[in-house]
Structure 1
Amino acid sequence: MVLACSAWCCSGGVSISRQRMEVRRRIKRMNKPAVKSIKSPDGDVIDCVHVSHQPAFDHPFLKNHTVQMMPAYHPEGLYDENKLSSGSSSKEKSRSISQLWHANGRCPEDTIPIRRTKREDVLRASSIKRFGKKKQLNLRHPMSSEPDLVNQSGHQHAIAYVEGGKYYGTKATINVWNPSIQQPNEFSLSQLWILGGSFGQDLNSIEAGWQVSPDLYGDNNTRLFTYWTSDAYQATGCYNLFCSGFIQISSEIAMGASISPISNNGGPQYDISLLVWKDPKEGHWWLQFGDDYVLGYWPSFLFSYLADSASMIEWGGEVVNSEPGGQHTSTQMGSGHFPEDGFGKASYFRNIQVVDESNNLKPPKGMGTFTEQSNCYDVQTGNSGDWGHYFYYGGPGRSSNCP
């Protein structure tokens, strides 16, 4: 079988055989020996890898690291939201979700589930070196109080944000959709951002949410994801467990795996709750999924500014607009509905909180909003007894109002 030679594999005289070797080495480095493997209904293979053999420990600073199997502290007031949610009206009740691979098994104790990387996954990347990384963005400093998210290589957003203080984490509940993607090189995601530093070359970012990314995963499934960088997406960090850094401890949830079921237009709403917080004792940034699953942590040494605290937190949606055919993309953000369509149709973040310097979960103060083109993707905030601080966001992309 002859391997097709992409632009990046043949440039500079790189031979097909050398490309094969590089791809093979990269896949071997990422796919650690499995104790057990589970075939997911969506075609993924989930490898159950011993917690001490995960990709994080390829990092030179983690060679002798002792895994912390649980955080020293959770934020105060973590489960107060349940009191509010239990009183929600039946109209606005949502349901929790799981991951598709659970249908065919679970990983044993002391292992973590890792989505197996295939050769075609690596070959879709712009280069072997950039596989699993976001494209480098031309970041600009914020103008006045607006977050610096203007026209970053075609990236468009509809977000809420807070800035101007010291933040030690955030918690939010997000309903999950399966937005349509026009071009394979585009994506649509909904996430939270923990940010530190300027918007120059030193930006620190921790990110978590759900995304649809054909380029990264080879399909249009909605998947749980994380990301981190300490140098504005240049050399450090990656999605999920594609590089060393994030240390996973959960045997239940696989980064990059499909999540199911998905919210229905006018029907049942399914959402995920995400919490990221800084352990005041060890200084690590922890990630929790729902009420039950502490997934793992980013060690504090990975970061410069975030080794102390975050200076901005953002929540919302992002798409890539590659302007196919010279027109705005029809890639949807969130559900593809505008915020004014409301519950059951529009995407939302609800029960939004931030972690303060005393490790308490508090409502955000002075929450602002931002979008590049509100006629394509928009955001509207609100506050209620059941949902606390919330917002609806999203849109269809190209339409009669968004040429």
Structure 2
Amino acid sequence: MDMKGYYSVSWTKKYMKDSFFSAQTTKRQHQCKQENHVVVSEPTTTSLNHSLNLAASSQNTLPPMLLHLFVTLLLFLTSISPILSHTIVSDSHSHPNANQTFRPSVALHKLKRIRTHLKKINKPAIKTIKSPDGDLIDCIITHHQPAFDHPQLQGQKPLDPPERPKGYHNNNGENVTHNFQLWTDSGEICPEGTIPIRRTTEQDFLRASSIRRFGRKPRGVRRDSTGTGHEHAVVFVNGEQYYGAKASINVWTPRVTDQYEFSLSQIWVIAGSFGNDLNTIEAGWQVSPELYGDNYPRFFTYWTTDAYQATGCYNLLCSGFIQTNNRIAIGAAISPRSTYNERQFDIGLMVWKDPKHGHWWLEFGSGLLVGYWPANLFSHLRSHASMVQFGGEIVNSRSRGYHTGTQMGSGHFSGEGFRKAAYFRNLQVVDWDNNLLPLSNIHQLADHSNCYDIKEGRNNVWGTYFYYGGPGRNVRCP
């Protein structure tokens, strides 16, 4: 197998100024500006000018006091027009006579709920960095982060870094002091004593299927995803006690064809049954137009302790995960990404249980500790995991009446191999004595192998690895 031409992201610094990377960044900036202009700026400006023109034409007929009230009301209605219009559209899908029965009070209540939730999520920043993709990254004082809103974590402070598993070494034999996210292109980082958090906006909420479920996976997601709309191509191990997992994950930009679908590649650390007591810790990259408003692959985390019902969330959208790193923004776009038949980039990820305190730590890249999930968030994972899983997942909503064209991985089947199909390499697990070990007794699962498939292998360079993915809808996947 030809390994020339793959790059771990720790090599990225050499390519920051080359034409490939510059062209990609310029294209992203242009697309971002164009989208913001069409979706946000234009309707607001038009409606505001219309309101002011109405006010001006009324000057000769209205007393000053009434004119003042009239203009104030119009400006207020203009400020909530995105909420109003979104509510009308949402209601019209579920209520045929929505246009006749629309009540502004419903929209105002929704706006109030959104702003209350935003106030809870978005903590006061001491510095804000604007990313080329339009994200705002807020630098939040570490002990003010959302994790410490959790009743069991209030008043605590982040712990010192734990001992890494025995047998651990950086994939490239170096300690990396920079990271590989688009928001750091300006050279700015958050000061020591703070953490970077991607700011959540009203538009993020308006894209969500519901305010209550914002930032959460749908209920009932199972590994054997038949009937749930979730499809997987994964390898997994079970039957032992596991204390962590490690892999390098190839990063791509798969096409997602529906706003409420996603495509992700991740590691799952699992305990409990696939019933209501399922505990998971998850980390990887995902493309999710609903969650982020674009199609960039983003570094993400997830956790749940009750099968995605009421606990847990993506990233830092609820209290739970405690971040300790000032250089990684969970939920921010990853850059650079792999290109078909050209350069390949991957990110190293490791999740493992600290033998001293029992918390589950997360490492990104080569040696960057991001933070940890406190053990007392969980029931089964408080002691150990019973399954570890690696691979891809998509949502197939069948919104057009047939299988989705949302891609997994690179959008190409595993048989195409290096530079064409997406891969995971150097798969390992952590045992009870904090040792990193190769996988044994590996199982493969592809829910719909005509849509997305998987092929495992092993060699001296990549250890245990696999190729996976696919295009979704095709002649064999109708």
TM-score normalised by length of structure 2 = 0.78
Query: Which residue of 139, 145, 149 maps to 1:48?
Result: 139
Q: Does 1:101 find its partner at 2:183?
A: yes
Q: Secondary structure at the match of 1:98?
A: coil
Query: What are the Cα deviations for residues 20-60 of structure 1, in whole angstroms up to 9, with x where unaligned?
Result: 11111111111100010000000000000010100001101
Where do residues 202-241 of structure 1 align in structure 2 (5 Å cutoff)? Answer: 202-241=277-316
CA distance in 2, matches of 1:242, 1:150: 25
User: Which residue pairs with 1:286 in the alignment?
Assistant: 361
2:184 is matched by which residue type in structure 1? Answer: H
Q: Does 1:352 find its partner at 2:427?
A: yes
2:407 is matched by which residue type in structure 1? Answer: Q
User: Which residue pairs with 2:167 in the alignment?
Assistant: 77
Q: Does 1:190 find its partner at 2:227?
A: no
Query: What are the Cα deviations for residues 327-373 of structure 1, in whole angstroms up to 9, with x where unaligned?
Result: 11111000001111000000000000000011000001111100111
Q: Does 1:117 find its partner at 2:200?
A: yes
Asked which structure has the greater RCO (Cα within 8 Å, sep 6+), the reply is 1
Query: What are the Cα deviations for residues 76-110 of structure 1, in whole angstroms up to 9, with x where unaligned?
Result: 11107547x9xxxxxxxxxx971000012111101
2:349 is matched by which residue type in structure 1? Answer: L
Q: Which has the larger radius of gyration?
A: 2
CA distance in 2, matches of 1:12, 1:292: 54
- Kept after mapping to 1: 8 A contact 2:221/2:307: no
Q: How far does residue 325 in structure 1 lie from its aligned partner after superposition? A: 2.1
Q: Does 1:132 find its partner at 2:215?
A: yes
Q: How far does residue 150 in structure 1 lie from its aligned partner after superposition? A: 2.6
- Kept after mapping to 2: 8 A contact 1:81/1:351: no
Q: Secondary structure at the match of 2:209?
A: coil
The 1:365–1:400 alpha-carbon spacing in structure 2 relative to 1, beyond 3 Å, is same
Q: Secondary structure at the match of 2:119?
A: helix
User: Which residue pairs with 2:9 in the alignment?
Assistant: none
Q: How far does residue 15 in structure 1 lie from its aligned partner after superposition? A: 2.0
1:39 is matched by which residue type in structure 2? Answer: K
Structure 1: tracts of 5 or more residues without a match: 86-95, 140-147
Q: Percent identity?
A: 55
CA distance in 2, matches of 1:114, 1:126: 23
Structure 2: tracts of 5 or more residues without a match: 1-77
Q: Secondary structure at the match of 2:341?
A: coil
Where do residues 58-77 of structure 1 align in structure 2 (5 Å cutoff)? Answer: 58-71=149-162, 73-77=163-167
Q: Which has the higher helix share?
A: 2
Q: Secondary structure at the match of 1:23?
A: helix
Query: Which residue of 121, 124, 137 maps to 1:30?
Result: 121
CA distance in 2, matches of 1:304, 1:12: 45
Q: Secondary structure at the match of 1:103?
A: helix
Query: What are the Cα deviations for residues 176-228 of structure 1, in whole angstroms up to 9, with x where unaligned?
Result: 00000111111000000000000000000000000000001111111000000
2:150 is matched by which residue type in structure 1? Answer: H
User: Which residue pairs with 1:18 in the alignment?
Assistant: 109
CA distance in 1, matches of 2:285, 2:277: 25
CA distance in 1, matches of 2:259, 2:396: 11
TM-score normalised by length of structure 1 = 0.92
The 1:138–1:169 alpha-carbon spacing in structure 2 relative to 1, beyond 3 Å, is closer
Q: Secondary structure at the match of 1:326?
A: coil
Q: Secondary structure at the match of 1:260?
A: coil
Q: Secondary structure at the match of 2:113?
A: helix
Q: Which has the higher strand share?
A: 1
